Amino acid sequence: MKNIHKLTLPILFVILFTHNILAQKLGKTEWFDPNAAATTFCNPINIGYNYTTHNHNGIPESRRSSADPVIITYKGEYYLFATNQAGFFWSKDMSDWNFVYGSFQRQPGDDDQCAPAAWVVNDTLFYVGSTWKRDHPIWKTADPKSGRWTRHVDKAMLPTWDPAIFQDDDKKVYMYYGSSGKLPLVGVEVDYKTWLPKGNQADYAQLYKATEVEDIQRPYGQIKEVAILDPAAHGWERFGPNNDMEPAPWGNFIEGAWMTKHNGKYYMQYGAPATEFKGYANGVHVGDNPLGPFTYQKHNPMSYKPGGFVIGAGHGNTFADNYGNYWNTGTCKISIKDRFERRIDMFPAGFDKDDVMYSITSYGDFPIALPTTQRDQAKGASSGWMLLSYKKPVTVSSSEECMEVETHRMDNGGKKVYEKFCYGPDNLTDENIQTYWSAKTSNPGEWLQMDLGRKMQVNALQINYADHKATQYNKAMDIYYQYKIYMSDDAVNWTLVVDKSKNDKDAPHDYVELTKAIKTRYIKMENIHNASGLFAVSDFRIFGNGLAEKPKMVSDFKVNRNKADSRNALISWKKQSDAIGYTIYYGITPDKLYNNIMVYGESSYDFRGLDKGTKYYFTIEPFNENGIGTKNKIIEVK
């Protein structure tokens, strides 16, 4: 026994030593394990957003972008398809997304991967992209992870821009499509085998002869109008940065069709008013048949997020996760290098006891709990972790100089508009996705350091990289980020908390959930490898608990609806020293305050998203690093 004991000690030492070495190689620390399953996610969704192709939209700058997401379940896993990604993504948990190359593009200039539709029939996954041409294929596969797809139909013969596919319980298949400032979304029953419209083919002779885009998109025969905007009555459907451009220069855009069936009712979802505006939202019309007629849901928009770090929630889809919980996806804006510079978000959604369709976007850019069972989505899915980093002081290794940058917009005289952009450290904590800090180089050793002001409990971090002076176009095999994050109580003695020095995955909005919370005051990020361009970060966001008092209830809360135009209201309140921001809730009844507006550091909001002839109810709550304050008494606004 003594000899065995003597032999065991060296073996145990070797095992422990080997374990420590492996843990270091994997990047594991006491607080972070890169292989641990996440319990939360944070918007924007952290996928390897593709860089646009060279000179895309006539803009030479390299930048990432995607939009118009569709997430569906297939064989117990989640598949995400979105605009111009050179493929698609899959995940087991809606947090860790894996890329699969799959080029559906026939020619470089085609839009076969723009605003795609994906759907499942039996054991087969189908896909179709956007095009005004009537000769594009319908793709299918039973093994999407392989990247191998075959053509179900070689020529679809329908002009499908922003398509959506729906199979009803009776196995009939419908397609919806359209993107226009003048025309409605349309829908039609299609033959599953041929993908031709059902009905008398003579009804479509005029359609097939049409050559102009507007003529192609008009309803013909059995192709029915399913939704159209009414901005004169619905304030949120108006064009403009703050729903403030009447008449709209290109019309009031409707797009992004999606169909959801619930309790025998059909919910025709659509996006409006335009992807580059903060009010980009999803609405629904409801009917008793898949081709209508449909009635505007009084609770609209169904998904709306005009404030916060992530702005915009339009043009997405609605799906149920593996536990039966609904989610609504959408498109959020950056719109700096290009008005189509965008990202993807996802929010809890559902149907209430009165079959009203809703989406909960409040604190929707803070960590959201992933599902592990069926739950009441009307309560949202917040992790409870608050933002600790807002307006906190940051020091950096270096900063790029300010410069005049072309905005790719024109002034009223038709001249190019230039703006002065600065890349200082204040941009790291301003909760503005459109601004960013940039170091002077992409070299290893460039760093940023934040002071939380006191010890706080840190549960998660989000690093939102910016594409400053990037040179990458489209996909490549070597796009990834590497870094280390240290924490300290005194800014002298540092502890390595997150080690991503061996990371080889593209993660432009890298969300890091700690396996164990840590209390700290100072946080430092050190660059090791940058994907493309300079080491630049839009916002370095820290989440957890400030370990102090929540803010007091807001006083002097008022909602003054405009008598001349009841679509507009001025919302005001008294600014509080103990709050960093405010969440305004509103809805059509006191128990349906589903929509919200997040505001930082202000005491008023010019709201232009109301519907004429509809009574509303409002309330407000303050928040800070320590939690959320008590809501005010609900105000009725006629």
pLDDT of residue 105: 75
Share of the chain above pLDDT 70, in %: 90
Q: What is the pLDDT of residues 163-202, one digit of tens each?
A: 999 999 999 999 999 999 988 999 999 888 888 888 765 5
Residue-by-residue DSSP string for 338-354: -TT-EEEEEEEEEE-TT
Q: What is the pLDDT of residue 1?
A: 45
* DSSP state for residue 616 in the 8-state scheme: E
Q: Per residue in 280-338, pLDDT tens?
A: 999 999 999 999 999 999 999 999 999 999 999 999 999 999 999 999 999 999 999 99
What are the beta bridge partners of residue 518? Answer: 458
DSSP classification of residue 610: P
Q: Which of 338, 347, 336 is nearest to 301 (CA)?
A: 347
Predicted pLDDT of residue 577: 95
Confidence of residue 18 (pLDDT cuts 50, 70, 90): very low
- The pLDDT mean for the chain works out to 91
How far apart, in whole angstroms, are the C-alpha atoms of residue 281 and residue 208?
33
Angle value at C-alpha 107, between 182 and 116, nearest 5 degrees: 50
Of 150, 114, 154, nearest to 132 (Cα)?
A: 114
- Structural domains for the chain: 65-85+112-384 (2.115.10.20), 388-545 (2.60.120.260), 558-637 (2.60.40.10)
- Bridge partners of 284, per DSSP, are 269
Q: What is the pLDDT of residue 14?
A: 42
Helix, strand, or coil here: 187? strand
**Higher local confidence (pLDDT), 48 or 203:** 48
Q: Which of 6-10, 53-57, 300-304, 429-433 has the lowest mean pLDDT?
A: 6-10
Question: Is the per-residue pLDDT at 599 higher than 90?
Answer: yes
- CB neighbourhood size of 488 (10 A): 17
Alpha-carbon distance of 455 to 518, in angstroms, equals 10
Region 440-460: mean pLDDT is 98
- Collapse the DSSP code of 169 into the 3-class scheme (helix H, G, I; strand E, B; otherwise coil) and give the result: coil
Q: Is 617 helix (H, G, I), strand (E, B) or coil?
A: strand
Among 7-21, 223-237, 426-440, 486-500, which stretch is predicted with the lowest mean pLDDT? 7-21
Q: Give me the pLDDT at residue 73, please.
A: 97
User: Which SS3 state, helix, strand or coil, does residue 224 take?
Assistant: strand
Angle in degrees, CA 295, 297, 302, rounded to 5: 140
pLDDT confidence of residue 22 = 44
d(C-alpha 330, C-alpha 318), whole Å: 9
The pLDDT value given to residue 125? 95
Give the whole-angstrom CA distance, residue 252 versus residue 181. Answer: 5
pLDDT at 313: 97
- Helix (H) and strand (E) counts in the chain: 3, 40
Poorest-confidence range of 37-41, 154-158, 230-234? Answer: 154-158
SS3 letters for 532-553? CCCCEEEEEEEEEECCCCCCCC
pLDDT at 7: 47
The mean pLDDT value for 531-551 works out to 98
pLDDT at 529: 97
**Is the per-residue pLDDT at 19 higher than 60?**
no
Tell me what pLDDT residue 237 has: 97
Measured CA to CA, the distance from residue 544 to residue 60 in angstroms comes to: 40
Q: In what order do the strands lie in the sheet with 265-272?
A: 255-262, 265-272, 281-287, 294-296
Q: Higher-confidence residue: 10 or 638?
A: 638
Are the C-beta atoms of residues 546 and 589 closer than 8 Å to each other?
no
146: nearest Cα among 82, 96, 95, 75: 75
Taking the C-alpha atoms of residue 280 and residue 271, their distance in angstroms, rounded to an integer, is 7
Write the Ramachandran bin of 244: left for phi over 0, alpha for psi from -120 to 50, otherwise beta: alpha
Q: Is the pLDDT of residue 261 over 80?
A: yes
Per-residue confidence (pLDDT) for residue 222, from 0 to 100: 78
The closest of 276, 290, 304 to 587, measured between CA atoms, is 304
CB 467 within 8 A of CB 532: yes
Query: What tens digit of pLDDT does each residue of 354-374 get?
Result: 999 999 999 999 999 999 999
Per DSSP, what are the bridge partners of residue 596? 585
Q: What is the mean pLDDT of residues 512-529?
A: 98
Does 209 have pLDDT greater than 70? no
Q: What is the pLDDT of residue 110?
A: 67
By residue count, the chain amounts to: 638
Q: How far apart are CA 235 and CA 590, in angstroms?
A: 21
Please give the radius of gyration of the chain, using alpha carbons only, rounded to the nearest integer.
25
* pTM across the whole model: 0.92
Phi, psi of 635 (to 5 degrees): -100, 135
| Predicted local distance difference test score (pLDDT) of residue 497 | 98
First to last CA, the chain: 87
Q: Hey, which bits of 194-278 come out as E strands? A: 224-227, 255-262, 265-272
Tell me which H or E stretch contains 410: strand 403-410
The Cα 106–Cα 112 span in angstroms is 7
pLDDT confidence of residue 208: 61
Across the range 562-569, mean pLDDT stands at 97
DSSP H/E element including 449: strand 447-465
Name beta bridge partners: 78: 73, 91
Q: Please indicate whether residue 368 or residue 415 has the higher confidence score (pLDDT).
A: 368
Question: What does 563-602 look like in DSSP terms, one character per residue?
Answer: SS-TT-EEEE----TT-SEEEEEEESSTT---EEEEEES-
8-state DSSP, 288: S
428-457 average pLDDT score:
98
Q: Percent of the chain, pLDDT > 90? A: 79
What mean pLDDT do residues 224-249 have? 95
Whose CA is closest to 544, among 309, 366, 428, 387? Answer: 387
Q: Does residue 10 register a pLDDT over 90?
A: no
pLDDT at 56: 87
- Whether residue 63 contacts residue 470, with contact meaning beta carbons closer than 8 Å, is answered with yes
**Distance separating alpha carbons of residues 528 and 546, to the nearest angstrom:** 29
Average pLDDT over residues 79-105: 93
Question: Do residues 284 and 267 make contact, with C-beta atoms less than 8 angstroms apart?
Answer: yes
Joined together, the tokens standing for residue 422 give: 């600065």
251-255, 416-420, 537-541, 552-556: segment of lowest average pLDDT? 416-420
